[in-house]
Structure 1
């Protein structure tokens, strides 16, 4: 159900991870029927009320979800999809923003050789990968092994360990076979309880993220 909501919401930035949304197009097909109003709530998509949205190519070649420019009542410049920000969420306004960034920039893990790539099936990639025990934030592979990423926007609670072990067990049984399955918990702050707990689980890694912004002055002549 979660996959259908994300894929069908014309303004959800993560919809580009589904096969029907992997090319530039105006959101006027059978796959475009919901509008995300924030915090996981959706309504039926009505272009005359919410504007005409599109999946477009950004200057770097990646796909973005945005309000289409010069279509119907959309008279202003195109605006990329964005969710309402909240101080409680710290650096990343929503978990989807962090997830999509990491999916495009999978980290190199200490003591693990080689680059990671998103796991892919015939109809979708490893972002919000649905399983019988819940959706995996990011599922990646490398050198034949599987990597389950569990993302927390702020502080990583020790309960995250049980959650990621559940996903790892599912991947081991249904996908990995004889290959290894590793878990990676990512948060802006890893709690001390979680650090202690993770010392007893050798296939789980803990990682903290930081966001750095550098500002420089510009003028008409630069």
Structure 2
């Protein structure tokens, strides 16, 4: 399957025009060396070498930032294969589309020196035509954002110009109505965080005072919500069930928790929380075997109030 990824070309896309003219995408991350001979197939090996280097030049940053920055660097230079489709924003809620044509190359003493050659298509796509799930994903914080789960929608938009519709690309969805409902639940939780019981012990993860915990990008996918305990001793990975099968959602949250644990070795605890409309026996049995993942059921109160 074709890879799709949103790439921010400099802060707020400030180097987009240079990339369009030069037919490339690139990143920096303050790693001042040619990576040609240091791009293993496993991002974990790459991070093991370059996280200490990155942290040495960013002493005020934590392990999460270090792991994520190096993960984005590896993804751009190695993880994205030739033929992958990249979408880069121009600041006007439009995305330029490019196809990666080359392996990694290094352009020393230039902006975004870690580069891939790209063939830019002569078209832009407005964010307004994206489905709501795609809008949320593509707006996540970070240099890279994996959009491959929306490949069918993006192919339709890029190559057929048929416009967009609200669709569910996840083949593991067993309850479409629950998926549609929970597509809005994530935003509700984030916006009303301070009014929820969870706020007594956790806050949405921040970096440099900015809330970045919603749709938090990792090398193995996007976490719905990443939270941190008020004493900064625990990270909490929150996943919405979104109508998916229990086996899928449990496997996914365990994958995210394992990735975060590897990125944050100094954190004493990584916990998980699954939020859904209901829990079936499969989910109950799966969670019996782990002590650090809880299930929370949400309920919706709907009232009609006579106005006149």
TM-score band by shorter chain is 0.5 to 0.7
Higher Rg of the two aligned structures: 2
Mapping of 1:1-222 within 5 angstroms? 1=5, 30-33=91-94, 34-35=126-127, 36-38=129-131, 40=134, 41=153, 43=157, 84=166, 89-90=176-177, 93=180, 95-106=182-193, 107-109=196-198, 114-122=200-208, 125-142=212-229, 143-144=231-232, 145-154=234-243, 157-175=246-264, 177-219=266-308
How many angstroms does 1:158 deviate by?
A: 2.6
Unaligned runs of 5+ in 2: 14-88, 95-125, 135-152, 169-174
The 3-state SS of whatever aligns with 2:180 is coil
Unaligned runs of 5+ in 1: 9-27, 45-49, 51-82
- Structure 1 or 2: larger helix share? 2
How many angstroms does 1:201 deviate by?
A: 0.4
Choose between structure 1 and 2 for higher RCO, CA contacts under 8 A separated by at least 6 residues.
2
- Spell out, residue by residue over 1:150-190, the C-alpha distance to the aligned partner (whole angstroms, 9 max, x if none): 11223651332121111111111213623211100111121
Q: TM-score if structure 2 supplies the norm length? A: 0.44
How many angstroms does 1:104 deviate by?
A: 2.2
Q: Is the 8 A contact 2:240 2:276 kept in 1?
A: yes
Q: Is the 8 A contact 1:148 1:184 kept in 2?
A: yes
In structure 2, how many angstroms separate the alpha carbons of the residues matched to 1:139 and 1:120?
Answer: 9
In structure 2, how many angstroms separate the alpha carbons of the residues matched to 1:176 and 1:128?
Answer: 22
- Spell out, residue by residue over 1:51-90, the C-alpha distance to the aligned partner (whole angstroms, 9 max, x if none): xxxxxxxxxxxxxxxxxxxxxxxxxxxxxxxx8599x543
Q: Is the 8 A contact 2:204 2:211 kept in 1?
A: no
The 3-state SS of whatever aligns with 1:193 is helix
146 and 211 in structure 1: CA distance in 2 versus 1, 3 angstrom threshold: same
How many angstroms does 1:108 deviate by?
A: 2.7
Q: Is the 8 A contact 1:156 1:191 kept in 2?
A: no
How many angstroms does 1:212 deviate by?
A: 1.1
Q: What's 2:16 paired with?
A: none
RMSD: 3.3
How many pairs are equivalent?
Answer: 157
